[in-house]
Amino acid sequence: MSQRAGASRRSLLRVAGVGVAGAVGGLLWHGRQDRARQAALGQAPWNLGFPRPEGGELVMAAFWGRPLVLNFWATWCPPCIEELPDLDAFHRDWSPRGWQVIGLAVDSPRAVEGFLARQPLTFPVGLAGLEGTDLSRQLGNERGALPFTAVFDAEGRVVQRKLGQTHRAELDRWASAL
């Protein structure tokens, strides 16, 4: 091999090595970011806060210590819209017994605000946006589909999960079982 060909090969190997090192570094950095996000979600949902359509922030830690129905929904999701009256009635009937209901909208603020102007809800709603899908996955929604409901006991443990539309009788059964 000529001296010139050897130098070209070493130069090419150095460039390839730098490229591989950069790619590995990027993957490691991205992996650290994913692990940090997963660690934050590991405390989910209690360490999170969400903007509210009417202003202010829905701070999840404020709901710790009492049973909670956490529902993920969107204005463009027909089964989500169909289940909201049942969730609202459950909230009105069971909140005097210590139960809480929160809706996290996986939707745009404008769409949620418009929907709530037409169909007000008595339970708190947070604007989770697309990040709500990540949280719902962390809570057991493997497909990331809507609607999704997670029920927490007073110690903050998930005791029930459902992908798909919930119904009032089902909500009552879950509450009575706790």
Task: Tell me the pTM.
Answer: 0.76
* Same-domain status, 83 and 34: no
How confident is the model at residue 166, as a pLDDT?
Answer: 97
* Same-domain status, 120 and 141: yes
* Same-domain status, 87 and 172: yes
Domains of the chain: total:
2
Q: What is the CATH number of the domain that holds 124?
A: 3.40.30.10
Using one digit for the tens of pLDDT, what is the confidence trace for 53-84?
A: 999 999 999 999 999 999 999 999 999 999 99
Instruction: Give the structural domain span for 18.
Output: 1-42
Return the structure tokens found at 69.
Answer: 């129905």
Q: What type of residue is 119?
A: Q
**What secondary structure does DSSP assign to 73-115, as a single string?**
E-TT-HHHHHHHHHHHHHHHHHGGGT-EEEEEE-S-HHHHHHH
* Same-domain status, 71 and 11: no
* Same-domain status, 27 and 62: no
Across the chain, what does the average pLDDT equal? 84
Q: How many CB atoms lie within 10 A of CB 154?
A: 12
* Same-domain status, 74 and 5: no
Terminal CA-to-CA distance of the chain, rounded, Å? 79
pLDDT at 25 over 50: no
* Same-domain status, 94 and 36: no
Query: Which range has the worst mean pLDDT, 37-46, 59-68, 133-142?
Result: 37-46
pLDDT at 34 over 60: no
